[in-house]
A and B are shown apart, each in its own frame.
Chain A
Amino acid sequence: MNVLRLETTSDPALLAPIRRAIEAFCESSGFSECAVCETGLCVNEALANIMRHAYAGAKNRPVLLEANFVEGLLQITLRDWGNGKDPSAAPPKIDPLTPGGLGLVCLRSMMDEMTYTPQPDGMVLTMKRRKK
């Protein structure tokens, strides 16, 4: 079992190093190049949603990312202490030219499972992807 834990903050400057850390984790877990790229993008999008919406742009708020890979299943959780709004409750994106919602489109199409679990003081997003 491989486990990765990242304690970080809601600064967009950290999106790239976090994405690369997750991609390296996926690669070391034996995922294909395409799966590595898709997972990196999904983590980026989920984090960007936390930064923009859960924390309304504040850059020094905490984010905890944990990834584990057990018996062919990758599970990534993102915990924030933000406003607790559930992004998945927003209406689905219909018009590609209307701003917003593309991050969730990526998560829904690229991950096998995606669940938002409200917390008393924030939110947990759990994403799963099985190695094919």
Chain B
Amino acid sequence: MRHSRDSAAIGMRTASFIITAVGMAAMGCGHGPRHVTDPDPSDKIPAIHEAVQLNDRTAIPQLIIDLDSDDAAVRLHSIKALRALTGQSFGYNFYDDQERRKAAIEKWRKWYSRQPKP
């Protein structure tokens, strides 16, 4: 469980938590190799978890793309992975509507464009 403190308005105390189960199944039984680019969330999400476990930063571009997914689960797991891999969030909330997500996603894109490429 990770804890981050939002900026607080006067008189308001806010605690935000991300509570997830560790070790979520990344090893499937009878599955071929999964990749973060898989379109099916039932393959994509375990691949995202594997990428975090392996500290696989090559997954980052796809994760940033998936911040705009129509699937709330994909958005949630993508931002969790990006936080784990980079330590950044740029104010992105998976539950914001598309309009509100735009600004944070743009920050992610700009941040990535400044990163040294392998």
Q: Hey, which bits of chain A sit against chain B, CB under 8 A?
A: 1-9, 11, 13-14, 17-18, 21, 59-62, 64, 79, 81, 121-122
Contacts and interface: CB of A to CB of B under 8 A. Distances in A.
26 contacts: A1-B12, A2-B13, A2-B14, A3-B12, A3-B13, A3-B14, A3-B15, A5-B6, A6-B17, A7-B76, A7-B94, A7-B95, A9-B20, A9-B21, A9-B73, A11-B20, A11-B21, A18-B19, A60-B24, A60-B45, A60-B73, A61-B72, A61-B73, A64-B95, A79-B95, A122-B72
What DSSP secondary structure best describes chain B's contact surface?
mixed
Contacts of A1: 11-13
Interface of B: 1, 6, 11-21, 24, 45, 71-73, 75-77, 94-95
Contacts, number: 70
Given A60-B45, A64-B95, A5 B17 contact: yes
A7 B18 contact: yes
